[in-house]
């Protein structure tokens, strides 16, 4: 097993839904991924807390600002013998408005439990309770207030990482100096605590109760992989039940510790119900409740424990029968909102035993309406800061929270877009060295002031990449070389205010040459035209240089260097022999086979005039940009036609057609298991390139088996990528009947995609991102594995996920795998592929892996000897199918349904 563990990377664990693999991992290596900071403790003094056994470290590597303090002796040990050790000291922040801890905790999209603890303890001798605000990243978490100096304020939030670094920031509101005593982060690997929320909200802990517990104090247990703090909760009308037998808590991702699960409460009077009530701190708070059940008594044949759970009088779940020594968690799938909350657990009529309850967690939704700064801009700023050692309080998100943005920058706060930096002023900041290349990545920069520093080196060419630059000040530096012609032109055309030292002026723009220049810049429009050309050439050259793979000539048909991509309509007619042979029809147009002059077979996609919402200019621009996108797993562009509103794209010809046809029942050609996995890998490579190799990233939006083409060697390539860029308002591909309500403002109007492949979250929230492609890819992968189409056509149309769910219950692989494979596959690899596919189709996009992760996992499926798979697979609730059925007000959460793997 240990060899196994060493091989499996952390990333693998982050997204694998197999909780048992996780269990073993964590037992072997407690506190994996834990960050436990005893704020204010002396440097380099990691220690293990006697009570919790948790290893705490000092702040040093997480924050540079603040001062260490000890609480005053009257609140400290030994006067306060129960004081947790981390709370005896703290870090306070007399300087700066915002101070942040940077926690490096996995990747963007990971779920974290973050806990911040505060004990004032009159550390400053002023006996004055401060009040300040706490943020996670750019998002408001909570205000921190105290009732007295000895109060331990502990705040917990479950939140999704917005980047590799999670910033926890304290903001001074002018009501006293912020401080913090302890900061802890626990990674949550399983897709839990997730009802409804994704990138748009976090969960604040409201209550976490260990029901029926016999101990008085809050408990924290070593077998709790999330290190939660459980408070005892009891009622005089309850009795305790307990067991000392082992309980299976691993079947669901919540994994409450044994100490918590082993006790339960039941009503003293058998016919009573168990009642829980709470009042929200703020009206309109949205609550999620997680109820933990495990049967602790071995029941006789004649006995039955069955109960209903209702909230404010309406049923919350279907009647439940807890399993013997087996933990089940149920949670509401829609948030609960009311002035008072009453949860009642009542035995059903046929139940011979009273209800039980083992534990409860209650969370409040904290909307994350702040849009963080674009990662590329953050990276560029961090790089700039580090390169120059900028002595400013540049921590956390540069643009958010809005009133506390970094000094010297201004951001664009337009409604729905990520924040981007539009102005950077580093004037008189003692900078030396060259102008930081990362500045070129601040793509919306309008104003750049680097004046009065000691910058050296040449004036970089990349400044002209900043298309929106209106103000540039480089005066008072020691730069050599001159600004580029492009910048001079923009300056002369009045588009740019440029202040540079004389030696940096462009020779081309000297007075002597002015005559030459005048005709060129005579009209503004010609300058703009030139600009467009420059940008195009630059983009083209850059894509060309940055990735070798991209610039490979296409099959000898045409090298990238020859820019003769444009074909006339007459040429298209010649190539297709007057549109002789149709080889396909898609949402965007009809595809014909053709032959170029040099004898290469091509596919020509001809668009109906109505299908483009854009003018010819845009089509041309987009087409030219797409021509620069090259990858061995993307169907190559050969050219385009844009002649008198007749538009066509010419692609390389793919001899074996599309994957959908290859997989269809009619098709006799049988794809082997290895070939199927190889096709999945090919397609994943193509998508990974679109997502991570292209700038800006390209989201395909219509990944489906019909858009994956196979060449004569059955190598797969992605087709139709980038078309969504060309045809932005295209609607005809969508066949979805019901239109859900949608109040989300950060959305776009037209949903693109194909029934069966359409990401339910994108459909609901309309916030498009690469994870929508991941969902669709997951469906394609399921098609490859099962041989079933995305939508099964029988008496009733059925989504592949809905078909899969009951089939998996049988634990019989042969029921789900394509019968045409005739058992010719490695079982472990097949399970693994299934897990990958299912994780891709998680209903919440944050739980889906990225294409790179999918890719590396798929590659393992090709290896012969896979380790024996883990025990559980969780099929996500398919929100998509809910679009069709009139779902009940509240339904069982999917997480409780698990399917054991065979050994």
72 near ligand NAG (CB under 6 A)? no
Supply 891's token pair.
């339904």
CA–CA gap between residue 534 and residue 462 (Å, rounded): 12
CA–CA gap between residue 874 and residue 836 (Å, rounded): 11
Nearer to ligand NAG, 211 or 677 (CB): 211
CB 455 within 8 A of CB 432: yes
- The region of 441-449, 597-605, 685-693, 771-779 touching ligand NAG under the rule CB under 6 A is 441-449
Torsion from C-alpha of 515, 521, 523, 524, nearest 10 degrees: -160
Return the SS3 of 36: strand
The least distance separating ligand NAG from the CB of residue 68, rounded to whole angstroms, comes to 4
Supply 756's token pair.
């069966």
- The region of 397-405, 575-583, 640-648, 837-845 touching ligand NAG under the rule CB under 6 A is 397-405
702 among known catalytic residues: yes
E strand map for 351-436: 359-367, 409-412, 420-425, 432-433
The least distance separating ligand NAG from the CB of residue 473, rounded to whole angstroms, comes to 6
The least distance separating ligand NAG from the CB of residue 158, rounded to whole angstroms, comes to 23
- The region of 196-204, 400-408, 719-727, 812-820 touching ligand NAG under the rule CB under 6 A is 400-408
The least distance separating ligand NAG from the CB of residue 748, rounded to whole angstroms, comes to 14
70 near ligand NAG (CB under 6 A)? yes
Cα distances (Å, whole numbers) of residue 643 to 569, 609, 622, 626, 640: 6, 11, 15, 18, 9
163 near ligand NAG (CB under 6 A)? no
Closest to 881 (Cα-Cα) out of 864, 894, 871: 894
The radius of gyration computed from the CA coordinates of the chain, to the nearest angstrom, equals 31
The least distance separating ligand NAG from the CB of residue 846, rounded to whole angstroms, comes to 21
376 near ligand NAG (CB under 6 A)? yes
442 near ligand NAG (CB under 6 A)? no
Which listed residue (377, 449, 783, 818) binds ligand NAG by CB under 6 A? 449
CB 120 within 8 A of CB 69: no
The 3-class secondary structure across 515-557, one letter per residue, is HHHHHHHCCHHHHHHHHHHHHHHHHHHHHHHHCHHHHCCECCC
215 near ligand NAG (CB under 6 A)? yes
Which listed residue (188, 265, 327, 422) binds ligand NAG by CB under 6 A? 422
216 near ligand NAG (CB under 6 A)? yes
The least distance separating ligand NAG from the CB of residue 672, rounded to whole angstroms, comes to 38
The stretches of 8-109 forming alpha helices (DSSP H) are 10-15, 19-28
Residues 6+ apart with CB under 8 A from 611: 588, 589, 727, 730, 732
Nearer to ligand NAG, 40 or 869 (CB): 40
Cis? peptide before 218, omega within 30° of 0: no
Name residues contacting ligand NAG, limited to 82-121 (CB under 6 A): 89
Nearer to ligand NAG, 414 or 454 (CB): 414
Number of residues that bind ligand NAG (CB under 6 A): 31
**Among residues 377, 682, 702, 818, which one is catalytic?**
702
Would you give the end-to-end CA distance of the chain in angstroms?
15
- The region of 67-75, 93-101, 601-609, 783-791 touching ligand NAG under the rule CB under 6 A is 67-75
Nearer to ligand NAG, 22 or 444 (CB): 444
668 near ligand NAG (CB under 6 A)? no
Backbone angles phi, psi at 503, to 5 degrees: -65, -15
Residues 6+ apart with CB under 8 A from 699: 690, 691, 724, 768, 769, 770, 772, 773
CB 773 within 8 A of CB 758: no
447 near ligand NAG (CB under 6 A)? yes
Closest to 107 (Cα-Cα) out of 163, 23, 32, 185: 163
Nearer to ligand NAG, 435 or 710 (CB): 435
Supply 863's token pair.
């290896």
Name residues contacting ligand NAG, limited to 251-280 (CB under 6 A): 269, 271-272
- The region of 399-407, 596-604, 782-790, 888-896 touching ligand NAG under the rule CB under 6 A is 399-407
The least distance separating ligand NAG from the CB of residue 546, rounded to whole angstroms, comes to 8
Nearer to ligand NAG, 376 or 755 (CB): 376
The least distance separating ligand NAG from the CB of residue 66, rounded to whole angstroms, comes to 11
Backbone angles phi, psi at 839, to 5 degrees: -65, -30
218 near ligand NAG (CB under 6 A)? no
Name residues contacting ligand NAG, limited to 496-555 (CB under 6 A): none
CB 334 within 8 A of CB 284: no
The 3-class secondary structure across 609-678, one letter per residue, is HHHCCCCHHHHHHHHHHHHCCCCCCECCEEEEEEECCEEEEEEECCCCCEHHHHHCCCCCCCCCHHHHHH
852 near ligand NAG (CB under 6 A)? no
Beta bridge partners of 287: 336, 364
E strand or H helix that includes residue 725: helix 723-726
Nearer to ligand NAG, 402 or 478 (CB): 402
68 near ligand NAG (CB under 6 A)? yes
Nearer to ligand NAG, 235 or 427 (CB): 427
CA–CA gap between residue 409 and residue 398 (Å, rounded): 8
The least distance separating ligand NAG from the CB of residue 427, rounded to whole angstroms, comes to 4
CA–CA gap between residue 607 and residue 598 (Å, rounded): 24
Closest to 363 (Cα-Cα) out of 290, 463, 471: 290
| DSSP 8-state code for residue 693 | I
Which listed residue (4, 29, 248, 414) binds ligand NAG by CB under 6 A? 414
416 near ligand NAG (CB under 6 A)? no
Nearer to ligand NAG, 21 or 411 (CB): 411
CA–CA gap between residue 605 and residue 583 (Å, rounded): 10
Name residues contacting ligand NAG, limited to 17-56 (CB under 6 A): 42
Which listed residue (13, 58, 62, 69) binds ligand NAG by CB under 6 A? 69
Supply 364's token pair.
């409040």
Angle at CA 136, nearest 5°, toward 135 and 139? 70
Angle at CA 872, nearest 5°, toward 870 and 876? 135
Nearer to ligand NAG, 86 or 778 (CB): 86
Which listed residue (147, 512, 515, 745) binds ligand NAG by CB under 6 A? 147
Beta bridge partners of 738: none
Nearer to ligand NAG, 150 or 891 (CB): 150
The least distance separating ligand NAG from the CB of residue 370, rounded to whole angstroms, comes to 8
| Bridge-based pairing state of the strands 601-607 and 589-595 | antiparallel
Please check if 605 is assigned to a binding site. Answer: yes
The least distance separating ligand NAG from the CB of residue 67, rounded to whole angstroms, comes to 8
The least distance separating ligand NAG from the CB of residue 524, rounded to whole angstroms, comes to 20
- The region of 161-169, 419-427, 504-512, 776-784 touching ligand NAG under the rule CB under 6 A is 419-427
| DSSP 8-state code for residue 222 | T
383 near ligand NAG (CB under 6 A)? yes
- The region of 66-74, 587-595, 708-716, 776-784 touching ligand NAG under the rule CB under 6 A is 66-74
Which listed residue (441, 477, 576, 707) binds ligand NAG by CB under 6 A? 441
403 near ligand NAG (CB under 6 A)? yes
> Could you list the active site residues?
702
Cite the annotated binding site by residue number: 605
Cite the annotated binding site for ATP by residue number: 605
Which residues of this chain interact with ligand NAG, rule CB under 6 A?
A: 42, 68-70, 89, 147-148, 150-151, 215-216, 269, 271-272, 376, 380, 383, 401-403, 412, 414, 422, 425, 427, 437-438, 441, 447, 449, 471
């Amino acid at each position: 097993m240990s060899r196994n563990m060493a091989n499996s990377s952390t990333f693998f664990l982050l997204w694998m839904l197999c909780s048992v693999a996780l269990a073993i991992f964590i037992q072997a290596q407690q506190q994996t991924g834990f960050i436990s900071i005893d704020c204010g403790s002396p440097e380099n003094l990691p220690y293990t807390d006697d009570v919790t056994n948790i290893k705490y470290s000092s702040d040093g590597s997480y924050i540079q600002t603040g001062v260490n303090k000890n609480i005053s002796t009257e609140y400290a040990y030994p006067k306060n013998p129960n004081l947790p050790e981390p709370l005896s000291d703290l870090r306070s922040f007399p300087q700066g408005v915002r101070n942040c801890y940077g926690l490096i905790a996995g990747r963007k999209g990971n779920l974290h439990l973050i806990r911040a603890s505060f004990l004032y303890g009159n550390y400053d001798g002023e006996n004055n309770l401060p009040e300040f605000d706490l943020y996670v990243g750019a998002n408001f978490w909570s205000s921190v207030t105290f009732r007295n100096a000895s109060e331990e304020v502990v705040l917990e939030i479950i939140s999704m990482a917005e980047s590799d670094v999670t910033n926890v920031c304290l903001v001074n509101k002018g009501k006293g100096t912020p401080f913090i005593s302890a900061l802890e982060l626990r990674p949550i690997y399983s897709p839990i605590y997730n009802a409804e929320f994704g990138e748009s909200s976090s969960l604040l802990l409201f209550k976490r109760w260990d029901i029926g517990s016999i101990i008085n104090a809050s408990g924290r247990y070593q077998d709790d992989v999330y290190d939660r703090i459980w408070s005892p909760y009891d009622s005089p009308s309850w009795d305790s039940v307990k067991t000392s037998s082992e309980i299976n808590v691993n079947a669901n991702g919540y994994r409450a510790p044994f100490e918590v699960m082993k006790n339960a409460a039941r009503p003293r009077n058998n016919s009573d119900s168990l009642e829980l009530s709470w009042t929200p701190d703020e009206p309109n708070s949205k609550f999620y409740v997680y109820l933990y059940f495990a049967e602790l008594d071995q029941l006789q044949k004649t006995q039955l424990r069955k109960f209903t759970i209702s909230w404010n009088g309406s049923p919350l779940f279907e009647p439940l029968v807890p399993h013997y020594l087996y933990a089940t968690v149920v949670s509401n799938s829609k948030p609960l909102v009311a002035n008072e909350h009453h949860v009642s657990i009542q035995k059903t009529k046929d139940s011979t035993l009273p209800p039980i309850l083992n534990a409860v967690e209650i969370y409040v939704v904290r909307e994350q309406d702040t849009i963080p700064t674009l990662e590329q801009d953050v990276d560029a700023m961090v790089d700039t800061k580090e390169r120059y050692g900028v002595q400013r309080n540049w921590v956390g998100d540069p643009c958010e929270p809005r009133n506390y943005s970094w000094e010297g920058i201004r951001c664009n706060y337009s409604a729905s877009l990520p924040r981007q930096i539009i102005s950077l002023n580093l004037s008189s900041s003692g900078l030396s060295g060259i102008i930081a290349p990362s500045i070129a990545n601040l793509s919306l920069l309008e104003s750049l002031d680097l004046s009065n520093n000691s910058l050296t080196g040449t004036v970089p060419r990349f400044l002209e990449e900043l298309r929106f630059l209106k103000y540039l000040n480089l005066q008072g530096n020691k730069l050599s070389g001159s600004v580029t012609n492009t910048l001079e032109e923009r300056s002369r055309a009045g588009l740019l205010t440029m202040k540079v030292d004389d030696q940096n002026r462009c020779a081309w723009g000297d007075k002597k040459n002015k005559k030459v220049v005048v005709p060129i810049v005579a009209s503004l429009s010609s300058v703009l035209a030139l600009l467009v050309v420059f940008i195009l050439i630059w983009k083209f050259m850059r894509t060309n240089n940055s990735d070798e793979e991209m610039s490979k000539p296409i099959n000898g048909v045409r090298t990238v260097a020859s820019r003769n991509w444009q074909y006339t309509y007459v040429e298209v007619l010649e190539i297709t022999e007057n549109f002789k042979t149709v080889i396909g029809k898609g949402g965007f147009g009809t595809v014909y086979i053709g032959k170029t002059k040099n004898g290469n077979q091509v596919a020509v996609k001809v668009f109906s005039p109505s299908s483009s919402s854009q003018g010819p200019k845009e089509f041309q621009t987009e087409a030219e940009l797409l021509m620069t996108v090259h990858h061995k797993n993307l169907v190559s562009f050969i050219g385009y036609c844009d002649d008198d509103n007749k538009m066509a794209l010419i692609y390389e010809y793919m001899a074996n057609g599309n994957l959908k046809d290859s997989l269809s029942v009619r098709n006799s050609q049988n794809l082997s298991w290895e070939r199927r996995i190889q096709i999945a890998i090919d397609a994943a490579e193509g998508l990974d390139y679109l997502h991570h190799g292209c700038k800006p990233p390209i989201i395909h939006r219509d990944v489906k088996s019909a858009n994956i083409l196979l060449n004569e060697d059955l190598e797969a390539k992605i087709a139709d990528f980038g078309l969504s860029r060309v045809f932005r308002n295209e609607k005809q591909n969508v066949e979805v009947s019901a239109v859900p309500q949608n109040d989300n403002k950060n959305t776009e109007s037209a949903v693109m995609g194909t029934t069966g492949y359409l990401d339910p979250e994108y459909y609901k929230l309309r916030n498009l991102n690469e994870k929508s492609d991941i969902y669709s890819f997951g469906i394609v992968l399921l098609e490859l594995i099962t041989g079933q189409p995305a939508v099964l056509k029988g008496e009733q149309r059925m989504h592949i996920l809905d078909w899969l769910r009951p089939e998996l219950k049988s634990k019989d692989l042969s029921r789900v795998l394509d019968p045409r494979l005739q058992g010719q596959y490695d079982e472990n690899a097949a399970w693994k592929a299934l897990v990958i596919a299912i994780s891709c189709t998680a209903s919440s996009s944050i739980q889906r892996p990225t294409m790179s992760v999918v890719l590396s996992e798929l590659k393992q499926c090709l290896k012969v000897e896979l380790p024996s798979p883990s025990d559980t697979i969780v099929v996500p609730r398919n929100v998509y199918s809910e679009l069709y059925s009139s779902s009940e007000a509240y339904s069982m959460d999917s997480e409780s349904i698990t399917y054991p793997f065979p050994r």
